[in-house]
Amino acid sequence: MPTDQLTIGFDLDMTLVDTRPGIRAAYRALSVETGTHIDADLAVSRLGPPLEQEIAEWFPQHRIAEVSDRYRALYPEYAIEPCLAMPGAREAVRAVRDAGGRAIVVTAKHEPNAKQHLAHLGIEPDAVIGWLWAEAKAEALREYDASVYVGDHTGDVRGARTAGALSVTVPTGPCEADELLAAGADVVLAGGLPDFPDWLAGWRTTNRADQDRADQDRMDGGAGADPGTDPGADVAR
């Protein structure tokens, strides 16, 4: 759905929501129910990839689908209430709205559970799209014509780059700033989402100035902007 409206995507786990307390509780409940040891603290230290990848660390291959379904069924009871909004999450979504844009959430999480988290915390994006990880996130980012994707994992960087969106990252999940930059992130907000509103305002100002220069070049019969210029290159990291 191409549109001229500004659209910015956000990841969920460890970008908008600190899901560690709830996921830890859900894994512990699953461990008790199945009689299988799960190191819940280790599991929550590497959030991001699809659930099945973590379940495979604790269960044999033939049980992954069954156990994953059971975890998702347990999730609303154990995982929603304990979780907290990440610092700056509500303000980041509000900044997009205040700029006249749309905020969407694109996550690998089971979509109904993602929506419950956001509703519980009073975070109201314009759309929530689940079940997408890494490069697959580009499907939703392209569908909604997102120009920026904000995430905390190298998989989020890959999704943004596959979609042709600017990759803005926060080092609030399992990946450090250097790792995010090495993966190809355009921007790392060192202070996390509290830095996002100011970054967004500066980015929009730069984009408007670039567009004004391009429009003037066309009016003057010039060649336009230098094709080698990276529109994100001037953004402070």
Residue length of the chain: 237
CB contact at 8 A, 83 and 117: yes
- The model's pLDDT over 193-220, given as tens digits with 9 standing for 90+, comes to 999 999 999 999 998 776 667 667 777 7
Identify the helix (H) or strand (E) that includes residue 65: helix 64-79
Q: How far apart are CA 220 and CA 214, in angstroms?
A: 10
Q: How high is the pLDDT of residue 235?
A: 44
Q: Read off the tokens for 160.
A: 């943004």
**Interhelix angle 20-34/64-79, nearest 10 degrees:** 130
CB contact at 8 A, 21 and 127: no
For 166, counting Cβ atoms within 10 Å of its Cβ (0-12 exposed, 13-18 middle, 19+ buried), the class is buried
Q: What is the DSSP letter of 13?
A: B
Q: What is the DSSP letter of 184?
A: T
pTM for this model (two decimals): 0.87
Q: How high is the pLDDT of residue 1?
A: 54
Stretches in the chain below the pLDDT threshold 70: 1-3, 210-212, 214-215, 222-237
The residues with which 85 forms a beta bridge, in sequence order, are 17
- Picking from 127, 88, 122, 124, the residue whose alpha carbon sits closest to that of residue 111 is 127
Q: How high is the pLDDT of residue 104?
A: 98
For 126, counting Cβ atoms within 10 Å of its Cβ (0-12 exposed, 13-18 middle, 19+ buried), the class is middle
Q: How far apart are CA 155 and CA 137, in angstroms?
A: 9
Which domains are delineated in the chain?
Answer: 7-17+84-197 (3.40.50.1000), 20-79 (1.10.150)
Q: How high is the pLDDT of residue 225?
A: 45
Q: What are the φ/ψ torsions at residue 69 (nearest 5 degrees)?
A: -65, -40
Residue 229 makes CB contacts below 8 A (sequence gap 6+) with: none
Q: How high is the pLDDT of residue 3?
A: 64
Q: How far apart are CA 118 and CA 31, in angstroms?
A: 26
The residues with which 106 forms a beta bridge, in sequence order, are 129
Q: How far apart are CA 10 and CA 15, in angstroms?
A: 7
